[in-house]
Structure 1
Amino acid sequence: MKKKFVRVMLFGALALATGASFVGCKDYDDDIDAVNARVDGIEKTLSELQAQVGGYVKSVVYDASTGKLTVTGADSKEYTIPMPEELPSYTLDVTKDGKITLKKDGKEVSSGTIDIPEIPEIPTYKEFDPLLLTVKDGYVYYDGTKTSVAIPETAKGSITAILDEKGVVTGYRIVTIENGKEVTGEFSVIDAIPLKGLVFEPTCYVGGISALKANNLTYNAWSQNAYAKPSETGETYKSNPTLSYITPQIWAYYHMNPASVSMAQIESLKFLSGDKDYYPVSRAAAMDPTANIKKSDVVTEDGQRYLKVAMDADAEKIPALNSGKVAVYALQAQTKAIGADEAKVITSDYASIYKVLMSDFVLETKIDAEDVILYGQSISRTGSTPNANAGKAQEAIDANADYTVATDGTLKLADKISTYYKENNGTELVKMTNIKDNGLKYVFTASNYIGGANNETEQNSFFNGSDAAKGIINPEYKGQDSEATEHREPLLRVELVDTTKVPNQVVAVGWIKTKIVKGTIDGFGKVFTKDTYYYGCENNVAKLTYLNMNDVYAEAKLNKPDFHTAYTLKKDDGGAIALGEGSTGTVTEVTDPEAIATTVVEWTVTPAEALALVKKSKTEMFATVTYESVDGTRGDITITMKASIAMPSGVIKNDQKITEAWSPDKSYVKADVKEPVTVAVTDFKLDLFDVFEGRKVVVSDVTEANFPSFTKDKLTAKFIFSGAKDVTIGTDKYTFTVTANGTQLNASKNSATATKIATIDADGIITYNKADENAQALLNKSAYNVDPFTVGIEIVVTNECDEILPLTGNKFDVKFLRPINVVDLKSAELQDATTGTAKIDMSKLLGLTDWRGQAFAVAPIDFYTYYGVTGSAISIDKDQIMTTLNASEAAPKLLKDVAPNMSINYTCNLQKTGGDITYGDLVYANGKFTINAPFKLFIPVTVKYTFGEVTSTVTLTITPTHQ
């Protein structure tokens, strides 16, 4: 087992002011004014530095004698931060066995252990990475997991230099306090560590395999109709009925270990591909992709650093998503030799690639934390299609404005635009993650129309056209800020453009309406992420704390009293706080107990409201409130509180099922009427709890610490029907439904009125409905060992407030074993023209067995009495007797068609005398012609009993007249 060794050097920051005390992340109950009065020059500089240089730098140098910190960014520009002088230093050693020791001046201060993963033959992204060592809340963390190594408290922060086993600095973390809050600057040193691993970033999963979508775009291009003079209805576009196509460059993204690697380290790139067996799908021919290193690069997207590789491949060789085929590939990167490090070949994990068709493109804009459809598109904002206003700016002109912007402010809409599409002719809109990769771009244009009080004013006169081309609404009149722009409603046209065509073509077009309001400051939006809601019996309650509001005050450039004088919360007609579109829950005003005389808003979401979102595949909830300007001189401030929703889950494990009572794979149990006893059976029941150990259904793997409403002592299990597969018996088809509470299974025969088949009570007992004809037919359709009637059962577990715990392993089947069976003995013979009467007792033709396969008997237990087989229980269907007369066993004929004068008669007369059991004589008459060769009769027999009737066929051989 190979392990890596790292050492971390920590420098504790001295107090920024003499006598200042350490402030932890949660120590925020100081007076607000006192917090704002703290020295904040260094902290603000750190925040600005992080924003300027990002997360990757070439070097960080600290001069202890002057306190000067110099950072060289990836662009080779130098930035400086003043820091306290003579910071105390620490070392953090990590040995091969995972022990961490913090030392100062060579003496141990604290220690602990971490689990350092092995280095595999093909390094992966999860190989030990020194950049995953962090310091938080006074402790060392590795990959987000807290260790027991404590860092001594310093005055106000620290500088941490992380070194690899060779003493090379790989990154820095600088922690300071800004406005009473901990601020962290994180920097990785580019190319300090050679490339060690690549892991593919999938765009989807297919059959459990990480996969890449090779997109193919199809669309009807839009073009503008003539619009020489602005009108009240605005510009219009028309759609070309001829389809256009884009086959964009295929891009594969890879996480790098470490993430600080640049293209300067990489000598070459190539793809490995092949035709691999993957069951149950068939094999696909290798697609032989190549890596275009000239187009490839290291990029940062959404805060993640990737190796972005251009893949060239024959599109015809890439299988479609539902083709039943799979093509796989892996990336190999050859690194350059750096110093003492030799060149290496790094191979990624394998992934598959599928051809995906993208169509029906829709532009959306983010309003109150939720994307909504732009006006004037093929799909309306309400979701209806086709939209009668497609290609018409008028839909936006006639609507209320989506956004407001102050007369002396600006509104950047370019950052709020997203593209959605439909995949493989589906119905659901999917968000496109990178339009540039698909050969697309956005084009923004001021869309002119006539508006105003007298419908005479061109609205483009009131905002900057050059800024509009950048997706920015900048109110101006004749190039100057002006009160004349107030109340104007500029329109911005947004086009999704195909850049692969010359000239470019418009893939989708829509319009956004804005309204200019008088103000000294733009409206703005703030989003605050609250603690995750762990679903349970309690409401989720979150607050906009005074610290949150402090951020709002700062951005509004007002102190608290002035802010609440200038703004008021928007209310609805009933006086409640109005919530933005898509919000969940309710919001009320309360007093913050941590800050005297401070009123904040409190957001409450009930468990039912959270669950409703989860059922819509949502993993997050939010509520948006609006602060409106009291005098109309300021733009609206929207504040969104959002929280992730965490749902509990549990597992019903097979090890608690009594093995001997279940099928080998634990997927079903059998239900029977129990073995015969002296008292006749009258019902068919199964206690489902009996097949679980200790008669208890135990839920495993619930994270009880996060979900206190779902601890084991608060859970109750019950059983419900989950349905049954359609059953066909002869020409009759049975379909099934389950009542809303899951306790009753119903069946409909040939779409007739459904009847009750079985019920489950609160104690987990299934009762089969023996009196219903449909239930009888289903139960008796098959012998116990052939294809018994099967129903689905689901275990439902609820807590004390009747909330359902999502489960896996909670579904199984119950197979109802037919209580009795008719056995064709096949050995019965009767000679033609027997003296007197040709007859034979029915007991020679058929035998009866029960669900265990045991033959009927009368002692010591009378099976006939137990199962309800009475003296006249057996009958035959003379019209359906088949024969081999002038036919064969493979293709018999109806006896009445071959020999109409030949007769078979039977009257049941069940007699039990001692051990002699008879069923009554079957009488045969041949119709007065001589039989020269044996033939067989196949006689339909029905046996009635307590749970319906069983129909089968028995065989009688007629031997020749002459022996």
Structure 2
Amino acid sequence: MKKKFIRVMFFGALALATGASFVGCKDYDDDIDAVNARFDGIEKTLSELQAQVGGYVKSVVYDPVTGKLTVVGADTKEYTIPMPKEMPEYSLEVTKEGKVILKKNGTEVSSGNITFPDDPVIPTYEEFDPAKLTMNDKGEVLYNGKKTGVTIPATPTPTSSIVAIKNAEGVVTGYTITTIEDGKPVNGTFSIVDAVPLKGLTFAPSCFVGGIPSLKASNLTYNKWNAQKYDAPTETGEIYKVADTESYITPQIWAYYHMNPASASMDQIETLAFLSADKDYYPVSRAAEMNPIANKAKSKVETEKDGQRYLKVAMDADAEKIPAMNSGKVAMYALQAKTKAIGGEEAKVITSDYASVYRVVMKDFVLKTLVGTDNKVLYGQTTPRTGTTPNALAGKAEEAITAAEDYTVATDGKLELAKLITTYYKENGGTELIKMENVEDYGLKYVFTPSNYIGGANNETEQNTFFNAADAALGTINPEYKGQDSEATENREPLLRVELVDIATNQVVAVGWIKTKIVKGTTDGFPVEFNKGTYYYGCDNFDKSLSYIDMNDVYAKAKLNKTEFHNAYKLKVDGSGNIVLGTGSTGVVTEIKDDPATATNVLNWVVTPAQALALVKASKAEMFANVTYESVDGTRGDITITMKAGIAMPNGVIKNDQKITQAWSADKSYVKADVKEPVTTAVTDFKLDLFDVFEGRKVVVSDVNDTNFPSFAKDKLTAKFIFSGANVVTIGTDKYTFTVTANGTQLNASKNGAAATKIATIDAKGIITYNKVDKNAQTLLNKSAYNVDPFTAGIEIVVTNECDEILPLTGNKFDVKFLRPINVVDLKSAELKDATTGTAKIDMSKLLGLTDWRGEAFAVEPIDFYTYYGIEGATAISIDKDKIMTTLNASEAAPKLLKDVAPNMSIDYACDLKKSGNDITYGDLVYANGKFTINAPFKLFIPVTVKYTFGEVTSTVTLTITPTHD
């Protein structure tokens, strides 16, 4: 068989803390020992090989004929590792689409899929990271810790097997070796990739300040807690007192960086240095230089709790020169890493992006534990579990002793509490609690201690008697009596004390207690999930049941037959006997018992269209319901059955080609509404039939998939129009706020927060009627001329089917612009001579003209515009004398109030509309001099208001006063 030759490096992301390239699925030493024990004759362990060849290797060759792995180091020396012969050949291949394929002798055995993680985007980053492809001790293939659905055969031979792992290009990136230990498979992974050095660094911010990715340099302030001494356990337990004086921690500053590739290690890096830059930050002055130093000796590459691998750089800096948060100053820095020249690769300098660093003060530390889905405050802290009043039992185990337990643990089980503890704090005097991600970064650690007291179900009993003290010191409650599992531990109530400790001083920063209760030993529960396909939204409910085959899968996993299962378990129901659904579930689940067609108990799941639509509106594309089977006698863990289904929604389009082009704006975004052109009968309403602007008076919906969504076939759809959304219009100093009724058929407006009034309505026939009598409606309609900025309302087309379900649409929104029916035009050519014999007067028709929404000038014959628009009577036209402006002793650009300049000068006007043929007069405007001679012309700017059927229009007209003589 031909040898396979690949240029590789050890992939650090899968190596354990020791730097070995074997990754065990249990404890590291146990796994290496187990593998070595099975592979007789191995000359060097991988740990030894790693030490000899360094961080890089030039090649790895596996020869299945001889069963040898040959590694060529960066120093060109060969290292040979003998393997057992005649091992079955498997390969694990990954496509670019994320499909994982397991092959044996070139034939596919099984396949699954991976989901690529949300890694940062940095240059030349490859989507598939072979280092994240691993196996657990069950032979299940994982990617980034998540199952792919592929399982390596557990015992392919009585001895062992080797699996080649290939990337999307078909290049071998590693080998997984399986051997048998005590009848169980033990796996080790030898991971390799092309030998590429560190190529890129991207800063991972802990916060953003002013939009800048930033790092917090923290100062911790706390009052330490001191334990009181007592000779023997009491019923009220331990007591801690808080000190009056403050203590401080100035922890190491850590800056985190994503690496490309993620496999890079510290062995590749020669030097680390920070580049600091003193940048201007307007509108305040720049920050002082803080000259950070990268402490390479402390820096490390680690996989953090989020599963990602980071370069973690220790930053040394003068804390006093680091700007405080919200100081308005900024100190900028970037990391520069110089790589080693190893394995033929040239040394390179890589510079990260710039970031800022800010000093923050952390205090008021609070310990929490995850109970169910809630992070609950530990008992005995100043911050109470509920409410805001400081806890009267702060520093006392008594609160936990007298309270209900947070957790239960079986007599034959264990409860790992250490993994559930988190620390929160307040920052810079704020009130919000912020989660601390890595307490070690801040010079802190957790200390767990059995908290002894007398009490529990059987009084006068020391509770520490019933659990393992050594395990408790590791944060684990392990029920035992005299070192063994025992029924005697049942109903005991162990207490675990949790201390947040300052590592440097060993002082207690925060202390709290967790209450547990030991219950009868249980058989572990488990979750089961069934995919019930896709719900295509429509008139019918989504109605699916678990089949008898589905339930048989549940019985088999519980290792019970049907009768045994239903004797041992009962469905969790409420007081009315209804099945209780888990949080986030949708619909109703009922149990169908002993149906002759199924011969088993099955679950039926029903979701209404309205319930599915509510999920879609919440941006969810999937629905689920989970139910719980509870143990009848309490000796078994819950079995949770989840049924899930996708939700598919129809979508229609209102296309522009259905709109009559000449009736719409060029971009088909709005139509205009107006009164009809004048006729002999006066206008009484202001209406627009919206169907008229669509071809054939029909709103046509396109692009609906009738096959999947028969409820939304074209012949089952009905269209209507509603007002959509609301906005605000400002006229002068008045603000009009709009609302739409729940059914969308009425548009209302509120002036300056007053009660809203009706502006317009839409009926079922698509006819908009403007409210001509309402003052708000009149003001809005008359706010501007038709060609300036007419009042606009949003319209939405709503399409429903026969069961009144709404079809999601695109292209279904547009505007209606309401054109003001009339306009007042300033003629600007009217003149009056000063000191005229008799009365100086001029007909108002010489100062203003009237046009309608078409721009047509008013006429009397053959159609009387005045009668049509309702401009009639002695109040039709009026002026506001107090607001007349003038250029008298002023300029046209900056006129003055006439009454302020010449209080004795007067302008009077009384409307007197008279029609004669096609001629009309409006009545005289009378001018009276202010008793002084005018030697130069000046202008009067007169506010004129014209009242008509749909309110009133105010405009300013111009009258020029000419001199008494030349």
Q: Same fold (TM over 0.5)?
A: yes
Any idea what SS the aligned residue of 1:475 has?
Answer: coil
Whole-angstrom CA distance in 2 between matches of 1:668 and 1:218: 58
Alignment partner, residue 923 of structure 1: 926
1:216-235 to 2 correspondences below 5 Å: 216=218, 221=223, 223=225, 226=228, 228=230, 232=235, 235=238
- Please report how far the alpha carbon of residue 617 of structure 1 lies from its aligned counterpart in structure 2 after TM superposition: 9.2
8 A contact 1:66–1:85 mirrored in 2: no
Q: Return the match for 1:952 from 941, 944, 955.
A: 955
Alignment partner, residue 153 of structure 2: none
Q: Return the match for 2:941 from 938, 942, 945.
A: 938
- Please report how far the alpha carbon of residue 944 of structure 1 lies from its aligned counterpart in structure 2 after TM superposition: 1.6
1:451 aligns with 2:455: yes
Whole-angstrom CA distance in 1 between matches of 2:413 and 2:162: 39
- Please report how far the alpha carbon of residue 942 of structure 1 lies from its aligned counterpart in structure 2 after TM superposition: 0.8
User: Could you give the per-residue CA deviations for residues 154-203 of structure 1, whole angstroms, max 9, x where no partner exists?
Assistant: x99993343799x98423478999xxxx9999763267444445555566
8 A contact 1:532–1:646 mirrored in 2: no
1:834 aligns with 2:833: no
Whole-angstrom CA distance in 2 between matches of 1:311 and 1:647: 51
Alignment partner, residue 114 of structure 1: none
Distance 1:838 1:323, change over 3 A: farther
Alignment partner, residue 486 of structure 1: 490
- Please report how far the alpha carbon of residue 749 of structure 1 lies from its aligned counterpart in structure 2 after TM superposition: 2.5
User: Could you give the per-residue CA deviations for residues 56-78 of structure 1, whole angstroms, max 9, x where no partner exists?
Assistant: 99799867459899999xxxxx9
8 A contact 2:691–2:697 mirrored in 1: no
Whole-angstrom CA distance in 2 between matches of 1:808 and 1:235: 66
- Please report how far the alpha carbon of residue 382 of structure 1 lies from its aligned counterpart in structure 2 after TM superposition: 5.6
State the one-letter code of the partner of 2:516.
Answer: T
Q: Return the match for 2:418 from 406, 414, 417.
A: 414
User: Could you give the per-residue CA deviations for residues 578-612 of structure 1, whole angstroms, max 9, x where no partner exists?
Assistant: 5667776665556899x997767677777766777
Alignment partner, residue 263 of structure 2: 260
User: Could you give the per-residue CA deviations for residues 518-576 of structure 1, whole angstroms, max 9, x where no partner exists?
Assistant: 32x5x65645566699786465979795697479648xxx8988776655555444444
State the one-letter code of the partner of 1:471.
Answer: G
Alignment partner, residue 124 of structure 1: 124
Distance 1:393 1:787, change over 3 A: farther
Distance 1:132 1:624, change over 3 A: closer
State the one-letter code of the partner of 1:514.
Answer: T
Distance 1:394 1:253, change over 3 A: same
Alignment partner, residue 747 of structure 1: 749
1:462 aligns with 2:482: no
- Please report how far the alpha carbon of residue 412 of structure 1 lies from its aligned counterpart in structure 2 after TM superposition: 1.0
Q: Return the match for 1:906 from 909, 913, 918.
A: 909
- Please report how far the alpha carbon of residue 268 of structure 1 lies from its aligned counterpart in structure 2 after TM superposition: 3.4
8 A contact 1:881–1:894 mirrored in 2: yes
1:476 aligns with 2:480: yes
Alignment partner, residue 160 of structure 1: 164
1:113-192 to 2 correspondences below 5 Å: 123-126=123-126, 159-162=163-166, 169-172=172-175, 188-189=191-192, 192=195
Query: Once the two structures are aligned, what percentage of the paired residues are identical?
Result: 63
Whole-angstrom CA distance in 2 between matches of 1:794 and 1:281: 48
Distance 1:620 1:887, change over 3 A: same
Q: Return the match for 2:880 from 853, 859, 877.
A: 877
Name which one, 1 or 2, has greater alpha-carbon Rg.
2
Whole-angstrom CA distance in 2 between matches of 1:494 and 1:286: 41
Root mean square deviation of aligned Cα: 6.4
- Please report how far the alpha carbon of residue 960 of structure 1 lies from its aligned counterpart in structure 2 after TM superposition: 3.2
- Please report how far the alpha carbon of residue 773 of structure 1 lies from its aligned counterpart in structure 2 after TM superposition: 0.5
Any idea what SS the aligned residue of 1:843 has?
Answer: helix
Whole-angstrom CA distance in 2 between matches of 1:550 and 1:585: 25
Whole-angstrom CA distance in 1 between matches of 2:178 and 2:663: 61
Distance 1:326 1:435, change over 3 A: same
Distance 1:91 1:619, change over 3 A: closer
Whole-angstrom CA distance in 1 between matches of 2:298 and 2:902: 88
- Please report how far the alpha carbon of residue 774 of structure 1 lies from its aligned counterpart in structure 2 after TM superposition: 1.2
Distance 1:838 1:285, change over 3 A: farther
8 A contact 2:93–2:168 mirrored in 1: no
State the one-letter code of the partner of 1:515.
Answer: K
| Unpaired runs of at least 5, structure 1 | 1-5, 10-44, 73-77, 95-101, 108-120, 136-140, 144-154
1:261-280 to 2 correspondences below 5 Å: 261-270=264-273
Whole-angstrom CA distance in 1 between matches of 2:390 and 2:501: 21
8 A contact 1:291–1:309 mirrored in 2: yes
- Please report how far the alpha carbon of residue 882 of structure 1 lies from its aligned counterpart in structure 2 after TM superposition: 4.0
1:293 aligns with 2:296: yes
Alignment partner, residue 339 of structure 2: 335
Q: Give me the TM-score of the superposition, normalised by structure 1.
A: 0.69
Distance 1:689 1:950, change over 3 A: same
Any idea what SS the aligned residue of 1:774 has?
Answer: helix
Whole-angstrom CA distance in 1 between matches of 2:62 and 2:940: 105
State the one-letter code of the partner of 1:400.
Answer: A
Whole-angstrom CA distance in 1 between matches of 2:393 and 2:657: 61
**Farther-moved stretch of structure 1 (411-420 vs 369-378):** 369-378
State the one-letter code of the partner of 1:123.
Answer: P
User: Could you give the per-residue CA deviations for residues 179-236 of structure 1, whole angstroms, max 9, x where no partner exists?
Assistant: xxx99997632674444455555667789x7945536577764635747475555556
**Farther-moved stretch of structure 1 (278-287 vs 526-535):** 278-287
Whole-angstrom CA distance in 1 between matches of 2:698 and 2:190: 58
1:524-673 to 2 correspondences below 5 Å: 524=524, 526-527=526-527, 537=537, 545=550, 549=554, 553=558, 568-578=570-580, 628-632=630-634, 634=635, 636-637=637-638, 639=640, 641=642, 669=670, 671-673=672-674
- Please report how far the alpha carbon of residue 922 of structure 1 lies from its aligned counterpart in structure 2 after TM superposition: 0.9
- Please report how far the alpha carbon of residue 804 of structure 1 lies from its aligned counterpart in structure 2 after TM superposition: 7.6
**Farther-moved stretch of structure 1 (229-238 vs 817-826):** 229-238
- Please report how far the alpha carbon of residue 472 of structure 1 lies from its aligned counterpart in structure 2 after TM superposition: 0.9
Distance 1:193 1:897, change over 3 A: closer
Whole-angstrom CA distance in 1 between matches of 2:425 and 2:388: 15
Alignment partner, residue 22 of structure 1: none
Whole-angstrom CA distance in 2 between matches of 1:295 and 1:649: 58
State the one-letter code of the partner of 2:923.
Answer: G
**Farther-moved stretch of structure 1 (782-791 vs 684-693):** 684-693
Distance 1:103 1:458, change over 3 A: closer
8 A contact 1:877–1:941 mirrored in 2: yes
Alignment partner, residue 114 of structure 2: none
8 A contact 2:227–2:240 mirrored in 1: yes
Whole-angstrom CA distance in 1 between matches of 2:641 and 2:856: 72
Whole-angstrom CA distance in 1 between matches of 2:341 and 2:333: 26
- Please report how far the alpha carbon of residue 403 of structure 1 lies from its aligned counterpart in structure 2 after TM superposition: 1.8
Whole-angstrom CA distance in 2 between matches of 1:590 and 1:574: 17
Distance 1:492 1:465, change over 3 A: same
Distance 1:798 1:881, change over 3 A: same
Alignment partner, residue 756 of structure 1: 758
Q: Give me the TM-score of the superposition, normalised by structure 2.
A: 0.69
Aligned residue pairs total 863
State the one-letter code of the partner of 1:341.
Answer: E
8 A contact 2:880–2:944 mirrored in 1: yes
| Unpaired runs of at least 5, structure 2 | 8-22, 33-45, 51-56, 73-79, 97-101, 108-120, 136-141, 145-155
State the one-letter code of the partner of 1:921.
Answer: D
Alignment partner, residue 146 of structure 1: none
8 A contact 2:91–2:163 mirrored in 1: no
Alignment partner, residue 113 of structure 1: none
8 A contact 1:709–1:799 mirrored in 2: no
Whole-angstrom CA distance in 2 between matches of 1:840 and 1:696: 55
Alignment partner, residue 727 of structure 1: 730
